[in-house]
Chains A and B, each alone.
Chain A
Amino acid sequence: MASPDATLHGVESILDIKGLTKIYPDGLKALDDVDLEVRRGEIFALLGPNGAGKTTLIGAVCGMVRPTNGTIHAFGHDTARDWRSARAKIGLVPQELGFDIFETVQRSVAFSRGLFGCPPDPARLEEILRSLSLWDKRDSQIRHLSGGMKRRVLIAKALAHDPELLFLDEPTAGVDVELRRDMWRLIEELRDGGTTIILTTHYIDEAEEMADRVGVIQDGRLLLVEEKHALIARMGRVEALFRLASPLAAIPPELATYPLSLTEGGTRLCYRGSGREADGEVAALVQAMVGAGVLFTSLDIHESSLEDVFVDLMESAR
């Protein structure tokens, strides 16, 4: 399903999923023949409603979920056979907060580093804790931290072994605006440092803000994988609303070729275009209107976001 993209051609793939299927013992098909390739250095957003299979997909790559079918290669290692080498390079920030709450921040993060086979490195540990504003809290027990701080600890633990591939499962679900901005900044920094990031979210603005490529998943099926801007350009819509100087009874024949509609008793003219050419078409439309003597007092242009694209996709998939 992942079509080769000219702009990213030749970039090394570090995660290669083929035919991944997961059927739980109760018969639930959480993943249905998923093919996905993720390239080194990109931010990939896996977008989908709750229960779409995002967390199961992450679990299958990281080792919490045993695939029913299909293969996963991370850094060229088969995660079923050569799992030690694969896992050593992967970090995971889970959706749910889960840790030994009586442990201190510093010890908890140091534990994670050791668990992944890395030698202790106090300087690196300090760097990680400082970057997440956790340094002042390093000796606090995790149970004394706020929810947002706890989430930062999870990130610190995931970064403790300097993973080359980082999974963030709903990193900003239920966090405040400030932390959300911090999180986005951190993700940018990690990407600049060369870490490949796969995040799941059901907040579309998050994917829109950060992702290079987007995958849309629903009911365990990966509906599409596409470069974000291309997706918006291809699927996006442009809406232009003209407030007319004087009402029109009907659309003049000079404008008949444009996708137009008259509303509110002929006082508003609405343009709805889609695809790459829509922007240019609005400009042409304005010229044509002037030529036809249709005057307007205001113009409101709205370009659809990834959210509109997503909603359209979800609806058409049902």
Chain B
Amino acid sequence: MNFNARGAWAIYKSELSRAWRAFFQTILSPVLTTSLYFIVFGAAIGGRIEQAGGVPYGAFIIPGLLLLTLLTETTTNASFGIFMPRFTGSIYELLSAPVGVAETLIGFVGAAATKSLIISTIILATATLFVDYTIIHPLWAICFIVMTAAAFALFGFIIGVWAEGFERLQIIPLVVLTPLTFLGGTFYSIEMLAEPWRTVALFNPVVYLVNGLRWTFYGTSDVDIAVSAGLTGLFLALCTGIIAWIFRTGWKLRS
């Protein structure tokens, strides 16, 4: 046996069923929150704001809002996925089963990414109720969303292995991801910023993610789209490398 496909499928299925069980928390709540943003910023206030980045403000904020939810939800979901077995003690089963890094990642990260794609789809569908928008590069948009979801699911997995308690588990999405996304050009084009803040913003990696996704939607971007794609790929590779190291050394998983 070289690859335990049934094992990977078992993890994937059980993770999705966990999400389904907590439907309100994992699916409905992020959709509801994002809808509120659409109503407040897109429909209510957006009508009084001029165009941003060449598109109506309501449409302009959609990619950023989608990413805000995508990053925090994917990270949280994936980190809970691996943290809960560690917390309850059921991790013994994973460690004693014929599953390795590939099966574990496909199971946990795949499920977290899948949940994010479901959430993204619902959010984009909901957005059409409040704002008029079209996606000019739909295929690229899907690629970009899938890649981002995968990267942050890996990132969440690392946090779930690293965290010793619930506080640490929540701290990265709350204290790092949310501020970076808010400041990452979700609600504004960084062209609107005065120096030195415009240069400072370029050091925020989320700026590249938001602009990358915005380009797939509207064809406009504050930064070079190749840099966006490259950074996302780099982050994906970095997380994969860290996880490979975790499995090789058994860090925090095997004593």
Contact = CB atoms under 8 A, between A and B. Distances in A.
Contacts of A103: 14, 17
- Please classify the interface of chain B as helix (H, G, I), strand (E, B), loop, or mixed, using the class held by over half of its residues: helix
Contact of A83 (B21, B88, B98): B98
A160 B98 CA distance: 14
A107 B10 CA distance: 10
Contacts of B98: 83-85, 87-88, 116-117
B89 A94 contact: yes
Nearest to B250: A66
B93 interface: yes
Given A99-B88, A99-B90, A115 B21 contact: no
A117 B95 contact: no
A64 B95 CA distance: 6
A116 B97 contact: yes
B91 A98 contact: yes
A62 B96 contact: yes
B6 A118 contact: yes
A63 B7 contact: no
Nearest to A97: B89
B96 A100 contact: no
Contacts of A116: 4, 7, 97-98
A107 B85 CA distance: 16
A65 B84 CA distance: 20
Nearest to A58: B96
Residue from the set B6, B84, B93 with the largest chain A CB neighbour count within 10 Å: B93
A101 B97 CA distance: 20
B89 to A, nearest CB: 2
B198 interface: no
Contacts of A115: 6-7, 10-11, 93-94, 97, 99
Contact of B21 (A62, A88, A102, A113): A102
A24 B255 CA distance: 8
Interface string A41-85: 000000000000000000100111110000000000000000111
Given A84-B98, A87-B97, A117-B7, A63 B1 contact: no
A116 B21 CA distance: 24
Interface string B110-154: 000000000000000000000000000000000000000000000
Interface size bucket, B side? 20 to 34
A7 B123 CA distance: 71
A157 B89 CA distance: 14
Interface in B227-255: 250, 254-255
Contacts of B10: 111, 113-115
A8 B2 CA distance: 35
Contacts of A112: 93
B24 interface: no
A63 B96 contact: yes
A111 B11 CA distance: 8
B90 A117 contact: no
Contacts of B99: 115
A96 B91 CA distance: 11
A119 interface: yes
Contacts of A100: 14, 18, 84-85, 88, 90
A84 B255 contact: no
Contact of A157 (B93, B100, B255): B93
Interface string A93-133: 01011111111000100011111111100000000000000
9 nearest CB pairs, A to B:
A98-B89, A114-B10, A62-B96, A84-B98, A87-B98, A117-B4, A115-B97, A98-B90, A99-B90
Given A24-B255, A88-B1, A113-B10, 7 more contacts: A65-B254, A84-B100, A100-B90, A111-B14, A115-B97, A115-B99, A157-B93
Interface of A: 24, 59, 62-66, 83-85, 87-88, 90, 92, 94, 96-103, 107, 111-119, 157
17 contacts: A62-B95, A62-B96, A64-B95, A64-B254, A66-B255, A84-B2, A84-B4, A84-B100, A87-B98, A90-B96, A92-B93, A98-B90, A98-B92, A99-B90, A100-B85, A111-B13, A116-B98
Interface of B: 1-2, 4-7, 9-11, 13-14, 17-18, 21, 84-85, 88-100, 250, 254-255
